[in-house]
Homo-oligomer: A and B are copies of this chain.
Amino acid sequence: MTTTETDTQWQHLTERWQELADFSGIGALLGWDQSTFLPAGAAGDRSRQQSLLAGLRHARATDAEYGKLLDAAARRSDLSPEQTRMVQVARQDFEKATRLPAEFVREFSGHVGQSYSAWTEARPANDFGRMVPYLEKTLDLSLQAASYFPEFADPMDYYIDESDEGMTAEQVGQVFSELREALVPLADAVIAAGAPRTDFLARGFDQGKQLAFGERVIRDYGYDFRRGRQDLTHHPFMTRLGGHDVRITTRVKENDPTEALYSTLHEAGHALYEQGVDEAFLGTPLGGGVSAGVHESQSRLWENLVGRSRAFWSAYFGDWRDTFPEQLADVTEEEMHRAVNTVSRSLIRTDSDELTYNLHVITRFELERDLLSGKLAVRDLADAWHAAYERNLGLRAPSDVDGALQDVHWYFGSIGGAFQGYTLGNVLSAQFYAAAEAANPGLEADIARKDFSRLHGWLRENVYRHGRRFTPTELTERATGQALTAAPYLKYLREKYSQLYGL
């Protein structure tokens, strides 16, 4: 093959990639608008437009000509390491999009619709039994889907790899076991120490002022409003609408200002990651965050390790009290810091705090793993749920409504891999933060004077700019010098909560 031919081929590939990225951006706009501003009557129009666009994108992402371009590129020996990785990632995406037979995808998706619809009735009726046959079929289909990827010995590995490339059930399971052993007694001790004062949070905080405050903080963090914006939605999220358009959303509660603030900081963390990807990778397969776990590590880092720290409130409490002088007249900086670090036992994952959230996730991960391995039968899931909650959280739901019927994920076709990223993110957040601190001694003092430049700079240099250039494992090892490890996270939690609760 001549150089001219190969260059033309490469040109075609990059055009394809830009086109696929633009399709994704348009799709993201359709979704963003649906959540922010779409008039109520237009839901049907929007869903048809989304199907049209998704169909066009899928056709372009899976057509044979594209597959040939990728195969030809994979045979080339003259590509740079970045180009080689682009082709590798694109081929993985292509395989995942093409290997499942269309007929099977249709069957699965039809079943999921029925299962979801049944769940919306079975949950309020506390009727887990009704969901057993649906969930059994979902499990069968999930195992069949995984079987199209025989390179994964364990089906759970296939599902973990979908969102956290290269990680395995065994690796995640070990980290999670270690976490559980440490977190259960730590949560017990914190809760026994008594709850901090939170009465003042319900004193009616002006919504506009709340939003303006959060936006001031994330501007300090380094979020670039020239390439993004914040709006209100029911469920906060971050979305990429283009190479230079990474938007976030939040929600506001008048009688709990921590809701808007921490939603904003969380989504801004995701956005800092996306905004930090190397300009040269935008519009290529490498132009985005690398995995669910690494992504969540950045939202958690900016939300929790920075935003719930003593140094953060030392920096911002003055502004905070200036913004809400009446509501905070009798509140000290320390009380504010303690209030945003309340720990309590809860039956509901989405209501839980930094510490116990992991126990909700680990419980689900272990149940999913046992379902996929055949160790746990679907009909025994509800009882297994209660037993696991008693063991891990010391609580038993009064019914299956807040037990095995709690989350939509399993009933919407997603068994395996749906939850683990959240806790992997927590673990990695501390691992990255510790490495950033080792390279930049005195980071805490930076935060206390609202100077995030060294922290943001280190993260951009070691994590953000790489996009999908490395696997999550490679990225973690390059940035922190070691593989995924729970030690920094446990150290962070123990120190923080010992100090806060005088343990």
Contacts and interface: CB of A to CB of B under 8 A. Distances in A.
Interface in A221-243: 224-229, 231, 241-243
A43 to B, nearest CB: 8
Interface in A137-155: none
A243 to B, nearest CB: 5
A22 interface: yes
Contacts of A444: none
Interface in A24-67: 25-26, 29-30, 33, 37-42, 44-46, 48-49, 52-53, 56
B33 A29 contact: yes
B29 A48 contact: no
B227 A52 contact: no
B52 A245 contact: no
Nearest to A42: B245
A52 B23 contact: yes
A25 B45 contact: yes
A19 interface: yes
A223 to B, nearest CB: 11
B242 A45 contact: yes
Interface in A446-480: none
A130 interface: no
Contact of A49 (B45, B46, B226, B242): B242
B26 A227 contact: no
Nearest to A226: B41
Contact of A226 (B40, B44, B224, B242): B40
A247 B46 CA distance: 14
A164 B356 CA distance: 67
Contacts of A52: 19, 22-23, 26
A253 interface: no
Given A33-B29, A33-B33, A245 B22 contact: no
Given A26-B53, A49-B22, A52-B23, A37 B242 contact: no
Contacts of A39: 225-229, 244-245, 247
A18 interface: yes
Contacts of A244: 39, 41-42, 44-45
Interface in A183-219: none
B224 A41 contact: yes
Contacts of A29: 29-30, 33, 49
Interface in A398-441: none
A215 to B, nearest CB: 13
Contact of A241 (B22, B42, B226): B42
Given A29-B29, A40-B226, A18 B48 contact: yes
A23 B37 CA distance: 19
Contacts of A56: 56
A26 B25 contact: no
A491 to B, nearest CB: 39
A39 B198 CA distance: 37
B45 A243 contact: yes
Nearest to A46: B242
A225 B23 CA distance: 29
A476 B194 CA distance: 78
Contacts of A40: 226
A229 B39 CA distance: 7
A29 B31 CA distance: 11
10 contacts: A22-B45, A22-B48, A22-B52, A26-B26, A26-B30, A41-B224, A41-B227, A42-B227, A42-B241, A46-B242
Given A41-B227, A49-B242, 7 more contacts: A19-B52, A23-B52, A25-B45, A38-B245, A39-B227, A41-B226, A42-B242
